[in-house]
Amino acid sequence: MCGIVGILGNEAVAGPLVEALRRLEYRGYDSAGIATVENGSLDRRRAEGKLVKLENCLSEAPLVGHTGIGHTRWATHGAPNEINAHPHVSGDVSVVHNGIIENFRELREDLEKSGMEFSTQTDTEVIAHLIARTLKGGATPEEAVEQSLSKLEGAFALAIIFAGHDDLMIAARKGSPLAIGYGDGEMYVGSDAIALAPFTDTITYLDDGDWAVLKRDGAVIRDRAGRQVERAKVKSVASALMVDKGNHRHFMAKEIHEQPEVLSHTLAHYLDFSEGRVDRSRFDLDLGAIERITISACGTAYYAGLVGKYWLERWARIPVEIDIASEMRYREAPMEKGGMALFVSQSGETADTLATLRYCKEEGQHIASIVNVRESSIARESASVLPTLAGPEIGVASTKAFTCQLAVIACLAIAIGRARGHISEETENELVMALAKVPGHISTILRDESIFEKISHDLSHARDVLYLGRGVSYPIALEGALKLKEISYIHAEGYAAGELKHGPIALIDEDVPIIVVAPDDDLFEKTLSNIQEVVARGGRVTVLTDHDPDRIGADAENIISLPTVHPFATPLVYAVPVQLLAYHTAVFMGTDVDQPRNLAKSVTVE
């Protein structure tokens, strides 16, 4: 999704702006640009494609201004080309924007009637023209921005600079995230604290509807009603976070290999290993009082929630409803008071998830969230926050965040089951010990990736791939298919194995590889029958299992033997082989593994 930076500096800001944009690359983008105020005038450089192209432009024609804004664009309105790249300029105004202006057509018509000429297909250009027109009418920059903001519908995070004003930047947010950074006689604006980490660790997160006037000596923040407000300055830990690939070729590989460590941290946060118990104090929830749970999330985080539904129903005996957030936000579902709504999000900024959270809040639900970015909007708007300790996830394809989400939900299921009297002390001990072994099992899998490379080589020639699983393995099949399609661009679908014969079995022939997630649990025999049905129709099956391979025998083309895992913990362990298959397939295909086409890390528009 688009990334925004702004610097009121004491020397040329073009280099630092590009450095900050590089730290936002993980969000996904297709063009980039910066603008600065130079000798009182605005000047900008923009380029289609990756940041290196913008850097080439800047080395051919440097920008030397001390005040500037920068942007990585993930196209929504208009093609990803240089013309549509931000910053946009109208008269004395230059603006960068993350979000979508929903009423841009009406605004554009109105602006065109008053003689403003548009040069792009973007929704953002209306913001620049609106402010410029108001300035021409005699308003100050602050007045022009305030009046213009009141006309915008939709979501936005904005940074705006003005010709003739070297010591001024205006920032605003509604829906999309935005942070202000405080330096020594310098000020910063960024989509997140990671972007600002090279410059400052003192951050203020703007509340929804806030806008701020920044000068080098500080910021004045106003809320949506125009009242001056104080917002807390927090110390961000982002500066301490390493954002590099270590010895790995891709962030995704690094993040897959970090899983034993980050899962250990996450599990240790919620579990008391020496006692074999869940540390209930970590949940900040009245665990025994929860009567029903509604889970909502998007993409991979939704699949973590889907595993959670199986766990919470089976082990905690609590009714769980789950829906993808982009549907749930508009479904107008009636919700009985006294329920808990649980949101799962790596970034904590996903627009659909945040909107659903607000809906559930209005419906009187207790809002809890499982987030990786603790300072995010979803965390800040939740009554109870259950952090994942995955560290920053840079690869667009979620890996370690997913398994950490699973870890937190597993601990929550045990805690609620225990509080409701459905899990005995002995069972709690057994399940906690099963989770404690997960990091070790994953380390074992990661020790030798040759089998995954071999099968991925075959997958890289496929046009379609099917993933099958039952019970808690069904969401892992869905996740395996999502992982493969998002980074290799091979069409893949996940199905509940028992559903196959109701339609998808028609797809099976020798050209469609089938990956079956088949741990040795109480559904294994059922899955085995489905494997036989597929093989009987010429299907080429790869089975992921900890069952005796002889039991599967010649039915499967490949058997990937995995460590013996307690059935409760299988989703955490089996997530890793499907990540490895997707990763190595994408490497064979030569795709952009960490920043796959069309995708964004943090989806802050709907």
**Which parts of this chain interact with ligand M6R (CB under 6 A)?**
298-301, 345-347, 350, 353, 396-398, 486, 599, 602-603
CB of 28 to ligand M6R, least distance (A): 9
Minimum CB distance to ligand M6R smaller for 507 or for 589: 589
Minimum CB distance to ligand M6R smaller for 290 or for 397: 397
Minimum CB distance to ligand M6R smaller for 94 or for 585: 585
Give the burial class of 81: count Cβ atoms within 10 A of its Cβ; 0-12 exposed, 13-18 middle, 19 or more buried: middle
Residue nearest to ligand M6R (CB): 299
The one-letter code for the residue type at 410 is A
Minimum CB distance to ligand M6R smaller for 388 or for 545: 388
CB of 208 to ligand M6R, least distance (A): 17
Minimum CB distance to ligand M6R smaller for 304 or for 496: 304
Has 601 been annotated as catalytic? yes
**Helix 125-136 to helix 104-113 angle, to the nearest 10 degrees?**
40
Minimum CB distance to ligand M6R smaller for 323 or for 555: 323
What is the C-alpha separation between 18 and 5, in angstroms, rounded? 9
Per-position DSSP letters for 300-349, written without gaps between them: HHHHHHHHHHHHHHHHH---EEEEEHHHHHHH-----TT-EEEEEESSS-
What is the C-alpha separation between 539 and 555, in angstroms, rounded? 10
What is the C-alpha separation between 163 and 288, in angstroms, rounded? 60
Segments in 186-344 forming alpha helices (H): 193-196, 251-257, 259-270, 299-316, 325-331
> For residues 112 and 183, is the Cβ–Cβ distance under 8 A?
no
Minimum CB distance to ligand M6R smaller for 277 or for 380: 380
CB of 9 to ligand M6R, least distance (A): 31
Q: Which of 2, 57, 360, 411 is catalytic?
A: 2
- H/E run at residue 545: strand 540-545
What is the C-alpha separation between 105 and 292, in angstroms, rounded? 43
* Nearest of 85, 81, 53, 59 to residue 70 by alpha carbon: 85
CB of 463 to ligand M6R, least distance (A): 21
DSSP secondary structure code for residue 63 in this structure: -
* Nearest of 389, 346, 392, 375 to residue 243 by alpha carbon: 392
Q: Which of 254, 309, 485, 601 is catalytic?
A: 601
CB of 21 to ligand M6R, least distance (A): 20
What is the C-alpha separation between 263 and 255, in angstroms, rounded? 11
CB of 604 to ligand M6R, least distance (A): 9
What is the C-alpha separation between 340 and 337, in angstroms, rounded? 9
Has 437 been annotated as catalytic? no
How far CA 543 is from CA of 481, 497, 601, in Å, comes to 15, 12, 30
* Nearest of 280, 342, 285, 279 to residue 311 by alpha carbon: 342
CB of 399 to ligand M6R, least distance (A): 8
Active site amino acids: 2, 601
